[in-house]
Structure 1
Amino acid sequence: MSQWRWGRRSLRTRLLMTVMVPLLALLLMNSLITYVGALIYANHVHDKNLIDDTLTLVQLMATKSPDGNVTSQAAFLLEYEPEGRNYFSVFSAKHGLVAGNPTLLPPDGLFKDGNETQLYDIQIEKHALRAASIQMTNPRDATDELEVTVAETLHDRHMEARQILLLSIPAQTVLIFAAFLLVWLGVRTGLRQLDPLTTQLANRQHDLAPIGDEDVPEEILPLTRTIDGLFARLRAMLALQERFIADAAHQLRTPLAGLSVHAERAQASSDSATVQDALNHIQRLIQRANRTSSQLLALTRAQTIEHEDGDSEPLDMAVLIPELVGQRVHEAIAANIDLGYDGPAGPLWIDGDRHRLQEMLDNLIDNSLRYAGSGALMTVALSREGEDICLAVEDNGPGVPLAWIERLGERFFRVPGCAEEGSGLGLAIVQRIAEWHDAKVRYFAASKKGGLRVEIIFPVKRG
């Protein structure tokens, strides 16, 4: 296990092993091919010699042995082999064996296509032999046919093939290891191209700028682009944290300063009415600070627009939205606002996050409850708009002047002249949550008399 880990950590070792194993396999395969080729060549040469020996015996039978017998000296020479023995035989069609080994008999039908020399394999006394046979007319009897056969063992053929293989292996080995050395030098030189990139990253302190593709080898571009993606996410996260700190400092400065002023009032005055008034102001400022901090946190969460596995799920808006609206009815009644819902009976499915959708709808309803005014009408409507789904929140309050509608959704933007307290973050949260759902936010004047209509267009769930 430790060796595997060591190899995994060393890119050079893994590259060399990746090359070395195929090179060794190539050496073995090349040796096998060399041996087979050498054996084919040895068989070709020995077959030719075997045919020559057979023709020599035929010539001997025709000229030197008119009686059909082979001298003992000739028989010795024909059967001699340093590492084994050879065989020969002469069979007469009329008289049977004339000379040689009685077991060396050509197979039946060997000469059905003519009297040419025939080569074939045979086995005698558990020895594999290669044989050559020829048919001739008996010199003593023109009506008789002789079958002359010479055979040899395969020992010499295999020995010569092994010798050729042994002669070629050293050269092949040197060639393979020379190739391995060149690969090693190439890998070593190639990996040095990573040194400038390593030095560049090592010299960085807090710089999260992209590495870029310039002077980066093509093979590691996927790695550097992945690192650039990581840097981009880190930059976005740090920017989000910096924005949150700046927003918190901006929004909490006023209530904290007010708390300090009214606390000093309470401490400096002995009048119970003044103290009570200061405490009331302190309580309202604390509530404002709590709401602002809560909305800042909500905005920070909403601005994290990257999706992760498990964030989204199929949601039926025709079921979810009425349920969420129902949870706000008591607050609407307390604010003397008529809150209603209008939507279809059939399902309307999207891919979304229930908690984000609830936070988005709560901010839309809070916005109307805060600014529509007592006695206003507010309607949450759900409908299909072409292939998409439209969620709308509309009220008949004073509305927003047309000159400012385009700025709704900006962080900390509040319509000039608005008397109600607020942080200017509610619609910004709605905007970010809509972006998380790939939805679009639209703002309209509800009617010529006033009011505000906010529409969120969601893409329908596919499949």
Structure 2
Amino acid sequence: MISGPPSLRRRLLAFLALPMLGLLTFNTLLAYYIALHYSNRIHDRNLTDDTVSFAQMLSTMPVSSDLSPQARFLIEYDPDGHRYFNVDSSRLGTIAGNADFSAYAPSQDCSGTHPALYEGELNGQQVRMSTVCTQAMNDPQDQLAVTVAESMADRRQRAREILMIVIPLMAMLALGMAALVWFGVTHGLRILTPLTSRLAQRRGELAPISDADVPEEIQPLISTIDGLFARQAEMITLQNRFIADAAHQLRSPLAGMALHVDQALAHGDPESVREALQNIRRLNQRTARVSTQLLALSRAQTVPETVEALDVSELVPQWVGMRVPEAIRDGIDLGYLGPQQPVRILGNGALLHEALDNLIDNALRYAGADATVTVGVQALDDNDVELYVEDNGPGVPEDVMSRLGERFFRAPGTAASGTGLGLAIAHEAVEHLGGRLGYLNRPGGGLKVSITIPLLKGP
């Protein structure tokens, strides 16, 4: 069964209605116990008053084995049910009564001056008893223990009657509260209307949607949406920049190709066609390299999805080995210098390889023939590790050092071909890895470019 989308209104009402239902049930039970307690107090007072009155009446009458009809009627009469009594003489034993209370010691205890109240069971039903002591009229040495008992059923009946009066009132209160809760939730959710209207009126805008009218409770959600909009805007900016860069960098090679094709078609002789084809091949290689570098820059500008523990003391020598054939072809001494023990960082392997490979490529391209290029790994301290590429080439003028890493920037006087994107790619990649890129001219000549990344501690 397919259910609909979750409803905030239903969820709020459920969270409010269920506690209210539990509170109503608790209040009902509490009201019953309060009513029962009140009913017991009233009945206990009446019971003790009747017991004292009966005892006072007996103290003015001679002790005999039976009571007068008037006295028996007075004590047995109960408008709510049947009443039981018992009169015990300390000298003669039980002299009157309609029930046996011998099982209850308090009926024989005349040490107290006030009526004693207690509960017991008589003829299979629970009763409440009251005992009071008085002296016999015709025998000062004789004490009478007068016990009067009544059923507990009428007490509970009174409590239920009170509860039946209270329940409709509580039900009306509960309905009123439910209506108020429904109105409050419905009216309270209208505070989202301005935000919904602003979003509905947007046409592709990615500006933040937070404003003064946004409720505090949904600020985390709005902040998350604003962060998503910011990332989307950044991605769109990167895409637009990539398109602009590609158009700018590919325009010249494509225009040059077209010019050489026109020259070859215009002259037609084999030498002109050969020269045009050579120039077209050179421009095609440049175009391919620019395209590759632009794609690498686009990848480097994207935040990596996965990170993992990387042992750079094992990976960097492998990456350096991949460029050795090229270095040998160009007459460059490319080597590695690093520790034997593991040096671990937390990052994305592909992104780190992209950054370091561009630094190696820059060194091989600009250091010159017969140069020495060293790629190294070293732990700076307990917190950072440094991956560096240094050469003994001409270096970079100090006045342009701050511009290294800008897209399409190349130091003046550079004879080697390039796109000016290598250091920009490395800069973007290292930034997403949480590291930093540094440039330093060596005292004896040459340039050192370093990647500093936090060291991964622990096993």
TM bin (shorter chain): over 0.9
Deviates more, 1:131-140 or 1:38-47: 131-140
Query: What do residues 332-388 of structure 1 show as CA deviations (whole Å, max 9, x unaligned)?
Result: 111110011111222221111111111112111111111111111111121122331
- 2:409 corresponds, among 406, 413, 438, to 413
| Superposition pairs of residues 16-165 of structure 1, within 5 angstroms | 16-64=13-61, 66-67=63-64, 69-81=66-78, 84-105=81-102, 107-108=104-105, 111=109, 113-165=111-163
- 1:312 corresponds, among 302, 307, 312, to 307
Cα deviation, residue 60, structure 1: 2.2
- 2:322 corresponds, among 321, 327, 336, to 327
**Cα pair 1:259 1:285 within 8 Å, conserved:** yes
**How many residues are treated as equivalent by the alignment?**
456
- 1:358 corresponds, among 345, 353, 356, to 353
Alignment RMSD = 2.0
Match of 2:372 in 1: 377
Amino acid corresponding to residue 341 of structure 1 in structure 2: Y
Amino acid corresponding to residue 7 of structure 2 in structure 1: S
**Cα pair 2:106 2:116 within 8 Å, conserved:** no
- 1:274 corresponds, among 261, 272, 275, to 272
Cα deviation, residue 109, structure 1: 5.8
Match of 2:182 in 1: 184
Query: What do residues 387-425 of structure 1 show as CA deviations (whole Å, max 9, x unaligned)?
Result: 311111011122222222211111111112322221111
Amino acid corresponding to residue 171 of structure 2 in structure 1: T
SS of the residue corresponding to residue 408 of structure 2 reads coil
**Cα pair 1:61 1:68 within 8 Å, conserved:** no
- 1:368 corresponds, among 336, 341, 363, to 363
Cα deviation, residue 50, structure 1: 0.6
For 2:110 and 2:263, locate their aligned partners in 1 and report how far apart those are by CA, in whole Å. Answer: 134
SS of the residue corresponding to residue 176 of structure 1 reads helix
**Cα pair 2:64 2:95 within 8 Å, conserved:** no
**Cα pair 1:87 1:104 within 8 Å, conserved:** no
- 2:424 corresponds, among 403, 425, 428, to 428
Query: What do residues 191-239 of structure 1 show as CA deviations (whole Å, max 9, x unaligned)?
Result: 2221111111100001111113322222222222121111111101111
Cα deviation, residue 260, structure 1: 1.5
For 2:320 and 2:358, locate their aligned partners in 1 and report how far apart those are by CA, in whole Å. Answer: 12
Cα deviation, residue 135, structure 1: 2.2
Structure 1's unaligned 5+ residue stretches are: none
- 1:344 corresponds, among 326, 339, 346, to 339
SS of the residue corresponding to residue 84 of structure 2 reads strand
**Cα pair 1:212 1:224 within 8 Å, conserved:** yes
- 1:398 corresponds, among 394, 401, 413, to 394
For 2:37 and 2:103, locate their aligned partners in 1 and report how far apart those are by CA, in whole Å. Answer: 24
Cα deviation, residue 296, structure 1: 0.8
Q: Assess, with a 3 A threshold, how the Cα gap between structure 1 residues 113 and 245 changes in structure 2: closer, same or farther.
A: farther
Normalising by structure 1, we get a TM-score of 0.93
**Cα pair 2:62 2:138 within 8 Å, conserved:** no
For 1:98 and 1:67, locate their aligned partners in 2 and report how far apart those are by CA, in whole Å. Answer: 7
SS of the residue corresponding to residue 447 of structure 1 reads coil
Normalising by structure 2, we get a TM-score of 0.94
Q: Percent identity?
A: 48
Amino acid corresponding to residue 101 of structure 1 in structure 2: N
Structure 2's unaligned 5+ residue stretches are: none
Amino acid corresponding to residue 82 of structure 2 in structure 1: R
